[in-house]
């Protein structure tokens, strides 16, 4: 899977020096002071670990000094978030957080909601290629660390060295026929050297695999989850209902604190829905609302029913009928009963909209078409229009 997006600019362009304001802006200082001290300290620690030439690190430095963040710098943040590698989690965490704090234009706000929604929906499983690369790197690093530790022990030469030498002699004896054949058919580097490099490379990866593979997967998952949590918080701050499809699609596989963050964000956005949003959101909104309604219990379901009333389609009718027949809460049954006729009316409109208009009779022949009469002095209404062949 290629994780490089077309919107991602070359690195040499992004690393150009960003313009800095001469003095801090009072509005920017006031916005910075509005952030809680704990949150600001946490983001400062993350920004300090970014490289000096990293453009997000440059923007972070200007932000914490109270300088105004320009439109071009916001565009840089959006560009850098195009790569969802877990290895860049600090950069992505700060850029994601900053998009929820800064005042954005309408255009940048729409791009930010789209980008943050994609981050929320992207799980660590979609970065498997880079995960395996980091697994190999961590395996080699772990093996070298352990090897250096044992090489430093005084007992290594006395106990382990003869055993390793015997193993290498046995391995060389087994591989000797194949190495000789390789030398005859492929003149070039020494076959013993190639075999040694291959065997050592395999040992570097295979021996520490039981430790490094679970560790690598855990680290990548934790880093990706950090970015996703911050993205949910930023979407809640932006307050756009356009983020609801991504949040509702993610709630199925969420758990723990991440699930609670999504529910809190969804609960804050659902009241902003209006009937005008019907038909403007993603097609999976109604099934996801029905999933939440059937899976979870509590006061949150009232908001889900209100949302179905505003933007739901006919696919929610079976869910509402089950609630009316089986739900133990009387208020939910009453609310579902009120909404059901609205969805049934929408079902009729959806059915009609899927039917193509057909002519009531055969198409008119070409010779029967009428054209306006030209170059005539006759103003009689019956002769102003005449057949096309005349």
For residues 313 and 328, give the distance between their C-alpha atoms in angstroms, rounded to a whole number: 24
What percentage of residues in the chain have a pLDDT greater than 70? 61
Residue 300: pLDDT band by 50, 70, 90 thresholds? confident
Do 46 and 80 contact (CB within 8 A), yes or no?
Answer: no
Which residue carries 């996703």 as its tokens?
Answer: 228
Q: Tell me how far the alpha carbon of residue 44 is from its chain's centroid.
A: 24
More confident residue, 190 or 76: 76
Q: Quick one: fold of 243-353?
A: 1.25.10
- What is the reported pLDDT for 220? 79
Token duo for residue 15: 């690393």
Q: Does residue 150 register a pLDDT over 60?
A: no
Q: Does residue 251 register a pLDDT over 60?
A: yes
- What is the reported pLDDT for 3? 34
For residues 236 and 73, give the distance between their C-alpha atoms in angstroms, rounded to a whole number: 22
- Least confident among 305-314, 326-335, 356-365: 356-365
Question: What's the DSSP call for residue 371?
Answer: E
Task: Count, in order, helices (H) and strands (E) of the chain.
Answer: 17, 2
Mean pLDDT calculated for residue range 235-244 = 93
The residues, any chain, with a CB within 8 Å of residue 285's CB and separated by 6 or more, are 244, 245, 248, 311
Do 72 and 108 contact (CB within 8 A), yes or no?
Answer: no
Classify each residue of 132-152 as buried b or exposed e, where b means 16 or more C-beta atoms within 10 Å of its C-beta: eebbbebbbebbeeeeeeeee
The residues, any chain, with a CB within 8 Å of residue 350's CB and separated by 6 or more, are 313, 314
Digit-coded pLDDT (tens) for 28-67: 666 777 788 888 889 999 999 998 889 999 999 988 888 8
For residues 128 and 255, give the distance between their C-alpha atoms in angstroms, rounded to a whole number: 21
pLDDT winner (highest mean) among 155-169, 225-239, 367-381: 225-239
| Domain range summary for the chain, segments of one domain joined by + | 11-126, 128-216, 243-353
What pTM did the predictor assign?
0.68
- What is the reported pLDDT for 329? 80
């Amino acid at each position: 899977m290629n994780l490089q997006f077309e919107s991602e600019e070359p690195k040499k362009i992004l690393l150009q020096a960003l313009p800095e304001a001469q003095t801090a802006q009072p509005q920017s200082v006031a916005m910075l002071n509005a952030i809680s001290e704990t949150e600001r300290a946490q983001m400062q620690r993350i920004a300090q670990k970014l490289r000096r030439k990293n453009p997000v690190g440059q923007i972070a430095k200007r932000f914490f000094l109270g300088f105004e963040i320009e439109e071009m710098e916001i565009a840089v943040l959006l560009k850098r978030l195009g790569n969802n590698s877990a290895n860049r989690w600090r950069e992505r965490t700060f850029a994601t957080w900053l998009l929820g704090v800064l005042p954005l234009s309408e255009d940048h706000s729409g791009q930010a909601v789209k980008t943050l929604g994609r981050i929320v929906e992207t799980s660590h499983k979609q970065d498997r290629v880079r995960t395996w690369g980091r697994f190999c790197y961590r395996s080699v690093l772990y093996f070298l660390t352990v090897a250096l530790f044992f090489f430093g022990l005084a007992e290594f030469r006395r106990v382990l060295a003869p055993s390793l030498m015997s193993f290498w002699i046995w391995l060389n004896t087994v591989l000797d026929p194949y190495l000789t054949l390789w030398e005859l058919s492929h003149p070039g580097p020494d076959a013993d050297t190639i075999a040694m490099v291959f065997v050592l490379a395999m040992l570097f990866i295979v021996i520490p695999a039981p430790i490094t593979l679970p560790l690598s997967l855990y680290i990548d998952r934790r880093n990706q989850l950090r970015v996703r949590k911050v993205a949910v918080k930023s979407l809640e701050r932006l307050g756009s209902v356009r983020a609801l499809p991504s949040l509702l699609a993610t709630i199925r596989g969420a758990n723990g604190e991440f699930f609670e963050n999504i529910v809190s964000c969804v609960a804050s956005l659902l009241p902003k829905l209006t009937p005008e949003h019907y038909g403007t959101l993603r097609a999976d909104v109604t099934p996801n609302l029905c999933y939440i309604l059937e899976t979870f219990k509590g006061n949150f379901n009232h908001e889900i029913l209100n949302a179905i009333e505003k933007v739901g389609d006919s696919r929610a009718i079976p869910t509402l009928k089950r609630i009316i027949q089986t739900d133990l809460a009387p208020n939910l049954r009453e609310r579902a009963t009120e909404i059901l006729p609205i969805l049934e009316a929408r079902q009729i409109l959806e059915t009609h909209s899927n039917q193509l208009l057909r002519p009531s009779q055969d198409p008119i022949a070409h010779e029967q078409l009428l054209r306006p009469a030209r170059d005539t002095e006759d103003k009689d209404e019956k002769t102003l229009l005449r057949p096309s062949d005349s």
